[in-house]
Structure formats: structure tokens, C-alpha cells
């Protein structure tokens, strides 16, 4: 069987976040259900400034394929994350498609964070702060605006010009007032939801910024040693993760020296109703996700199906 090659621009044209959202919700429920297949990932330091992560294999009940992704992170480059995703036939192992994983990963990660924010934030939460005016901040905000009503957005980045460009681009695109803030304190003033994705290894979200009733989605803490929310805030909050073990081994919990006792639930458990999530308006809720292989498979399967239906991509026989 020939392999379908899909470039980043192909994936961007084919991946529909509105179609991906319900498929991701169902996959998260299945992942956290008793007997669900658990995630595996391996991380290594590369020569120079990069790190590499291998996610293997991505499996989801009902999808007759599995995925393997190799990703490398280079914070100084644009895009900062580069890699490929291999989509294989589950029965034969044949390589169905080889596709760029940069856009796919950004969309599925941002959508998962937004699904958690929509689920855990107060029903009347409409004011959003975005910390980190990069690709992930943009995808989180776009996804959240797709899922729920957003009235006002502030964005903060250590690079002021990046925050200003973000505001100028996303405001008109979403039809929502988006303003760049000069300080974190100003950005968080009156915010109901915080969408955070940075490269920091020093937690900066403490009680002075995270006020009662707020929801925080923290996605920057996805490798050992990275942390955005301090231990005190996590301990006092309702903390939800994508995977308990990985949240301690390489996520927001372990990054500040906490253990599994700080975790209240997995996202799939809240989606399934086996954990209530937020139970009071004054509670602080936090979602910390490291990213799981099944998310890649759900997105890649949609992309592959759309590509076959529309005749997009180039076929090659890698076994020739």
C-alpha cells in the first residue's frame, strides 16, 4: 500500500477543530476508563538547544490505525516544535501516511486545554488572560472562543511586541476585544480564565495572581523541570491532568515537587462524570496536560480521512 505524504499546509487545510473536539472528548473518556490503554513517551536531550520526544503508540478504540510521533523542540526557532507523525494500519502495520506534526500537535493540544477550561471554569467566566503569545496561546484562545462565549481578553508575554502582535491579530479574527498588558498583574486583573503556555522552569503563578474562582490551563509544563503554577496554588486547587503518572513524572505536579496526592482527577474522569470537577464558584481549578499519543491519532485519522476524500497529498511507495 502506498504511503500518503502530507505537508504542514496540507494538514492545516484538512484538520477541522470543530470536528476534532467531540472526537477528543470521547477519546479522553475512554483513556481514563477502567482498562483504558495508558500512554507511553520517551524524552531525550539532543546536542545543542533541542529536546526530542517520542510518543508511541497512539491507540483509540474504533480507529483501525495507530500513530507514532517523533517531535523535537527548539525554543529559539519558528516553529519551535518540529516533527513527523506516522499513521499505521493496525492490522498490517503498513504506513498509511507520513505527515508533518507541527500544526496537528498545536491544534490538538490547544483544543484539549480549551475543552478542560470550558469544562472546569465557572459558567459565567467570560474574561480571559493568555500568558505566552506564541502558537499555543493562539490555538488555546481560538479553541476556547469556539467552545464558549468570551467577552474580553488580555495577553501578556515577556516580549512586548509579540503580545501586541497577538492582540492585533486575534482581536479582529475572533471579534473580541484583545489587549496586550505590560505586566502580569495588569493582565490578570479581573480575569476568570488563564490560558498559559510558556517555556519557563520557574513557577510564576502564585496566590497573588490566581484569585478565588479562577480556572488555569497550564500547558508549558510538559517536560521534567518545567513549571508555571507554584506548589501552593496546586495544593489548594482542584487539579485535573490528562495522565496522573505523567503529571508527576514530567508535568505541572512533579515540576514543583508534588506527588500524585495533589491530583484530583484526570480530564477523562471529569468528562465521564465519575469526578465532579468544580463543585463551588469560589474554587480554583487547574488543568495541567503534558499531551498524550491518542490525541495525535484522533487528529491524524481525521486528517487522513479528509485527505483521501479530497485527493490531497502525494503517494509514495517506501518499500519500492
pLDDT profile of the chain (320 residues), mean per 10: 96 98 97 85 72 79 94 79 93 97 95 98 98 96 98 98 98 98 97 96 97 97 93 98 96 98 98 98 98 96 98 95
pLDDT value at position 73? 78
Q: pLDDT at position 79, please?
A: 78
Whole-structure pTM value = 0.94
Could you tell me the CATH number of the domain that includes residue 18?
A: 3.30.1780.10
Domain boundaries, position 43: 8-105+293-316
- What is the reported pLDDT for 310? 98
244 and 299, same structural domain? Answer: no
Listed residue (220, 265, 211, 274) closest to 243, CA to CA: 265
Predicted local distance difference test score (pLDDT) of residue 46: 72
pLDDT of residue 35: 85
b (16+ CB within 10 A) / e for 14-31: bbebeebbebbbbbbbbb
Work out the number of other CB atoms within 10 angstroms of the CB of residue 263: 22
CA dihedral 12, 198, 162, 82 (to 10 degrees): -40
Residues 40 and 119 placed together within one structural domain of the fold: no
- What's 220's DSSP letter? S
In sign, the C-alpha dihedral spanning 173, 178, 179, 180 is: negative
Query: Given this model, what pLDDT does residue 36 score?
Result: 78
pLDDT at residue 1, rounded to an integer: 81
Establish if 86 belongs to a structural domain: yes
- Considering the domain architecture, whether residues 98 and 163 belong to the same structural domain is answered as no
Contact criterion met (CB below 8 Å) for 130 and 142: no
Amino acid at each position: 500500500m502506498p504511503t500518503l505524504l502530507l505537508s504542514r499546509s496540507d494538514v492545516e487545510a484538512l484538520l477541522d477543530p470543530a470536528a476534532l473536539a467531540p472526537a477528543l472528548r470521547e477519546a479522553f473518556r475512554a483513556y481514563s476508563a477502567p482498562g483504558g490503554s495508558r500512554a507511553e513517551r520517551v524524552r531525550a536531550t539532543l546536542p545543542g538547544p533541542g529536546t526530542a520526544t517520542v510518543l508511541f503508540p497512539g491507540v483509540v478504540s474504533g480507529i483501525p490505525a495507530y500513530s507514532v510521533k517523533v517531535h523535537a523542540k527548539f525554543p529559539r526557532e519558528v516553529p519551535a516544535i518540529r516533527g513527523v507523525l506516522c499513521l499505521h494500519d493496525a492490522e498490517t502495520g503498513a504506513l498509511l501516511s507520513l505527515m508533518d506534526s507541527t500544526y496537528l500537535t498545536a491544534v490538538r493540544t490547544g483544543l484539549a486545554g480549551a475543552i478542560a477550561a470550558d469544562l472546569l471554569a465557572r459558567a459565567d467566566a467570560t474574561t480571559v488572560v493568555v500568558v505566552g503569545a506564541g502558537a499555543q496561546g493562539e490555538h488555546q484562545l481560538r479553541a476556547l472562543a469556539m467552545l464558549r462565549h468570551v467577552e474580553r481578553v488580555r495577553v501578556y508575554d515577556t516580549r512586548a511586541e509579540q503580545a501586541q502582535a497577538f492582540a492585533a491579530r486575534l482581536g479582529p479574527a475572533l471579534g473580541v476585544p484583545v489587549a496586550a498588558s505590560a505586566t502580569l498583574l495588569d493582565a490578570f486583573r479581573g480575569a476568570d480564565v488563564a490560558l498559559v503556555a510558556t517555556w519557563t522552569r520557574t513557577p510564576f503563578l502564585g496566590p497573588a495572581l490566581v484569585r478565588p474562582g479562577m480556572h488555569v490551563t497550564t500547558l508549558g509544563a510538559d517536560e521534567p523541570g518545567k513549571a508555571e503554577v507554584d506548589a501552593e496554588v496546586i495544593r489548594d486547587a482542584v487539579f485535573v491532568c490528562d495522565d496522573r503518572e505523567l503529571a508527576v513524572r514530567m508535568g505541572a505536579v512533579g515540576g514543583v515537587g508534588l506527588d500524585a496526592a495533589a491530583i484530583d482527577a484526570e480530564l477523562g474522569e471529569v468528562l465521564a462524570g465519575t469526578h465532579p470537577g468544580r463543585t463551588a464558584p469560589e474554587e480554583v481549578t487547574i488543568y495541567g496536560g503534558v499531551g498524550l499519543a491518542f490525541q495525535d491519532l484522533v487528529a491524524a485519522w481525521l486528517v487522513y480521512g479528509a485527505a483521501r476524500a479530497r485527493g490531497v497529498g502525494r503517494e509514495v511507495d517506501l518499500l519500492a
